[in-house]
Amino acid sequence: DTAVSQTPKYLVTQMGNDKSIKCEQNLGHDTMYWYKQDSKKFLKIMFSYNNKELIINETVPNRFSPKSPDKAHLNLHINSLELGDSAVYFCASSQDVYEQYFGPGTRLTVT
Amino acid sequence: AQKITQTQPGMFVQEKEAVTLDCTYDTSDQSYGLFWYKQPSSGEMIFLIYQGSYDEQNATEGRYSLNFQKARKSANLVISASQLGDSAMYFCAMREFSYKLIFGSGTRLLVRP
């Protein structure tokens, strides 16, 4: 019974391609997030949705587009992938402003 | 200025001993939350403990406790009776007025047998 799941776990693709990462949570939480962890392990928020509405949109290239079809799902679509997009992407969820529960992460490698 | 500072990039501790991981934060908000997460080598992020800025008592969760010193703006994590499985990266994080967490750079803890 995984609380926050992400697919795929690993994603290897070439520069210029478009890819998507899917996230689902079964915790009944109202808020979901995308974080990026770089090669130095630094974690930074990218986006957040609360009840399907975008509430946080950090300084992220517009090649990144989140989509929340319902409050249990938050997908991340990335256009025209670049080498610098290589990172681990984490999805997370929370109820209101309390602790956030993270998915297992998706390791994206752009070659 | 950094919002969350973890000054110990790496630490060692002997198995069964206690260890303190340092975290200082910077905020002008009165209402905020402080969190600690563990990231083992397998990569997942595991929530450990939470402290609200208005909580008068230090948070505890099993072997984890948070030493919250509001005036000094510090929120150190104390792990008692270290186990080999505690070897991991530990991240301190803060939530201010919004939903987003701001993370520190992490401390890598290695527990020696």
Spatial contact of B48 and B37, defined as CB atoms under 8 Å apart: yes
| Average pLDDT of span B2-8 | 91
Contact B43 A104 (CB under 8 A): yes
Is it the case that residue A1 has pLDDT exceeding 70? no
Mutate which: B31, B37, B66, B99, vs A, most A CBs within 10 A: B99
The H-or-E segment that residue B64 falls in is strand B64-69
By C-alpha distance, the chain B residue nearest A104 is B44
Task: Decide: A2 and A78 in contact? Cβ < 8 Å.
Answer: no
Q: What is residue B2's predicted lDDT score, i.e. its pLDDT?
A: 66
Segment B56-69 shows an average pLDDT of 96
State how far residue A26 is from chain B, nearest Cα, in angstroms: 17
CB-CB neighbours of B72 under 10 Å: 9
Contact residues on chain A for B61, CB-CB shorter than 8 A: none
B81 contacts B71 by C-beta, under 8 angstroms: no
Q: CB distance A42–B50 less than 8 Å?
A: no
pLDDT tops 80 at residue B72: yes
Structure confidence by residue, pLDDT tens digits, A5-48: 999 999 999 999 999 999 999 999 999 999 999 999 999 999 99
CB atoms B50 and A101 under 8 Å? no
Question: Best mutation site among B45, B96, B105, B109 for testing chain A: the one with the most A CBs within 10 Å?
Answer: B45
Q: Which pLDDT belongs to residue A68?
A: 93
Two structure tokens written together for B18 = 């206690």
Beta bridge partners of B68: B75
pLDDT category of residue B99 using cuts at 50, 70 and 90: confident
Q: Tens digits of per-residue pLDDT, A36-88?
A: 999 999 999 999 999 888 988 887 899 999 999 999 999 999 999 999 999 99
Residue A110, classed as helix, strand or coil, is strand
Q: How far is CA A18 from CA A8, A12, A14, A85, in A?
A: 14, 11, 9, 12
On chain B, the residues whose CB falls within 8 A of the CB of A88 are 43
Q: What is the H or E stretch that residue B98 is in?
A: none
How high does pLDDT run on average in chain B? 94
Of A55, A102, A103, the CB nearest to B99: A55
d(Cα A31, Cα A15) in Å, to the nearest integer?
31
Closest CA to A92 of B64, B68, B93: B93
Spatial contact of B79 and B62, defined as CB atoms under 8 Å apart: no
Q: Are strands B19-21 and A43-50 parallel, antiparallel or unpaired?
A: unpaired
